[in-house]
Copies of this chain bind each other. A is one copy, B any other.
């Protein structure tokens, strides 16, 4: 895990057999969609289309209507909004197991594209919505997910509105570390950062220069070491206190 980055592992996984991917897909879909009855699960499974994307592929864009929703199986997707003059705000990164398509019930569109190669479960937006309407347990699960997303979004508002650059970076790293830990099942002092500095900047409301400077200052201060496609945490307590301060 320290030699081979998660980014690389994810790239490899995408290359695996379709049959294997579908198995992943189903497991993910089940875990994401919560405690469904087994016939519900079969129904949902029938709606599922496994798909893969190379890095930089567009999943949604702000202009065109959304036809599909996705569950990410492997890889990382960035969700963002663009202002007319080109300024970008990344509103989230979708990691394996995440569901893409909660926030698009209304007219409010956003963009999504793959940071790495990605494999996903694709569902027709309409079929998925029908299925949810006919299965209250699933609707309930979707609602819990939406509620959870809302709480995260509010946490992100605090970060964007009231924290300085160092706190933003520290918080970003700690949150990502915990998300990877949930996915891989074990916590790692090496935090993979498959996204580039510009993506981190656009997520945290900073510039690429500030992200770079802050990370390198943290490295100089022995808080962490910068490694290819990520960082390795040296002083977890200090980083955590920065993140939550």
Q: A139-B139, A153-B153, A162-B89 are in contact. Are A147 and B106 (CB under 8 A)?
A: yes
| Cβ–Cβ contact B143 & A139, under 8 A | yes
Contact surface of A with B, Cβ cutoff 8 Å: 81, 83-85, 87-89, 91, 102-106, 108, 110, 133, 136, 139-140, 142-144, 146-151, 153-158, 160-163, 202, 204-205, 244-245
Question: Complex formed: what's the CA distance from A153 to B155 in Å?
Answer: 10
* Smallest CB gap from A244: residue in B: B84
- Extra contacts, 7 of them, besides A87-B162, A103-B151, A150-B153 (Cβ < 8 A), are A102-B150, A106-B147, A136-B136, A139-B143, A153-B156, A161-B202, A162-B205
Q: Distance (Å) between the CB of A34 and the closest chain B CB? A: 13
Q: Which of B84, B154, B205, B244 contacts A153 (CB 8 A)?
A: B154
Residues of B within 8 A of A87 (CB): 162-163
Interface of chain A: mostly helix, strand, loop or mixed: helix
Q: Distance (Å) between the CB of A64 and the closest chain B CB? A: 17
* Smallest CB gap from A109: residue in B: B151
Residues of B within 8 A of A88 (CB): 162
Q: Which of B142, B148, B157 contacts A89 (CB 8 A)?
A: B157
The quantity of this chain's copies bound in the complex is 2
Q: Distance (Å) between the CB of A243 and the closest chain B CB? A: 11
Question: Complex formed: what's the CA distance from A133 to B163 in Å?
Answer: 38
Q: Distance (Å) between the CB of A215 and the closest chain B CB? A: 18
| Cβ–Cβ contact A150 & B148, under 8 A | no
Q: Distance (Å) between the CB of A163 and the closest chain B CB? A: 8
Residues of B within 8 A of A89 (CB): 157-158, 161-162
Residues of B within 8 A of A83 (CB): 158, 162-163, 245
Residues of B within 8 A of A205 (CB): 160-162
Q: Distance (Å) between the CB of A61 and the closest chain B CB? A: 15
| Cβ–Cβ contact B154 & A110, under 8 A | yes
| Cβ–Cβ contact A154 & B81, under 8 A | yes
| Cβ–Cβ contact B158 & A156, under 8 A | no
Residues of B within 8 A of A104 (CB): 151
Residues of B within 8 A of A204 (CB): 161
